[in-house]
Structure 1
């Protein structure tokens, strides 16, 4: 009996060590740690003592929810996660707490106007861009469409100082169209290694694999209004803070975190995903 109990205790200790080691490895995979999953720990934290708590509910600020990372918060608010960390004076951007409040508009900018498009403090839901319902076309426009070999001329996206003329980011067929609930952009077919190009001039605000559901991802910021996202790449050819030109090859198409080789492409206006058909030229 004593031997059996000792072996049982030893096995439990070894199992606990393996679990802890696995958790430690997982936390280091993304540039921003997601600590919102630990509900038991967060329930004991005094929210009023968390950084930025005095700004909760104010325009231009966002309260961290379970499952958030700075990368996702940046994408949903049209900002670079590095800028959010700097504006929020985060000593360690790799550790954010549920209930913590971060600034999502630049200091000096009219926060009441900038925050109306995304709603400061609202819950950020995961964006589904993989297989299943997310890749099912929902309208005739989402059927496969042949693409000319040469990039088509760009079409005007909108009027105003921040208007951007976009081009198609890949020369494949459209296999899934925009659906506000199920697919936040376009899915474009291709072969592994096909070029992915920048849809417009911009700056790389994220390049990595730290956002679940997107695989190897690039996010470009074109101005204070527009971002574009390029997901599931096989390889990334640009780095964060790098400036790129319209038509420049920025990645190679792949199937990371996806059910097939494809490019998932999003256009975001002040952080909100919008139908790319409103901004891309006909082809």
Structure 2
């Protein structure tokens, strides 16, 4: 066998090693769109610096979601009168301005004193087994992972307005966020296909996506409930 054969073998071995290293280094969620979004935003300021530079495709709700903030507070801190009035390149502060610009204590206490879940009639977004329970101490996403049947429809846990539909939030893949009232938002991640667009009004139980998942957990959906911007245990609200 000549040098050409051994060179060919070494070349194939080299690329095999590269592929294996790439697989080993992949995050749990590996949609190509999710990787592209992560790479494009890797240099954007975050909560660590106290501000965020608006990127193409961002919405106020998505920025608030990514930083565990109440979208109303984020808007107030940045003097935003309408959620759609943000532009690429805008620098948004992620903390209250000096002197405080939060809600008066009495108003905040009044909101939080309402019954758990408010007047919302919650329902499960998917019937199936809970693969991962809620962990309040988890780093990153805090919700539950539900396994369903192949090609199952993911349904709105309550009626509301779709405020995000896309794949730009790191670690969520194809994601839907629904605003139910001034307190509650829900998110549905790891979808194969999105069935609703931003601005759509949806009813409780309406299909919003087709189930996706990842290599580790196929046919699953990541589901979150946020109360005033903070993650809560969905099973405390679902029937």
The interval holding the TM-score normalised by the smaller chain is: 0.5 to 0.7
Query: Which of residues 104, 108, 115 in structure 2 aligns to 1:159?
Result: 115
Q: Report the alpha carbon displacement of residue 111 of structure 1 after superposing the two structures with TM.
A: 3.1
Query: Which of residues 187, 200, 203 in structure 1 aligns to 2:161?
Result: 203
Q: Report the alpha carbon displacement of residue 239 of structure 1 after superposing the two structures with TM.
A: 0.6
Query: Does the Cα contact within 8 Å between 2:53 and 2:90 map onto a contact in 1?
Result: no
TM-score after normalising by structure 2: 0.61
Aligned: 1:219 with 2:177: yes
TM-score after normalising by structure 1: 0.53
Partner of 1:265, secondary structure, is strand
Q: Tell me which moved more, 181-190 or 248-257.
A: 248-257
**2:193 paired residue number:** 235
Deviations 1:151-188 (A, max 9, x none): xxxxxxx6289431210000111111000122511100
Query: Which of residues 60, 64, 68 in structure 2 aligns to 1:74?
Result: 64
**1:135 paired residue number:** none
Deviations 1:125-169 (A, max 9, x none): xxxxxxxxxxxxxxxxxxxxxxxxxxxxxxxxx628943121000
Partner of 1:188, secondary structure, is strand
Higher relative contact order (CA 8 A, sep 6+): 2
**1:137 paired residue number:** none
Unaligned runs of 5+ in 1: 1-25, 43-61, 118-157
**1:37 paired residue number:** 43
Query: Which of residues 51, 67, 71 in structure 2 aligns to 1:64?
Result: 51
**1:265 paired residue number:** 223
Query: Does the Cα contact within 8 Å between 1:88 and 1:102 map onto a contact in 2?
Result: no
Aligned: 1:95 with 2:89: yes
**1:48 paired residue number:** none
Q: CA RMSD in A?
A: 4.1
Q: What is the aligned length?
A: 183
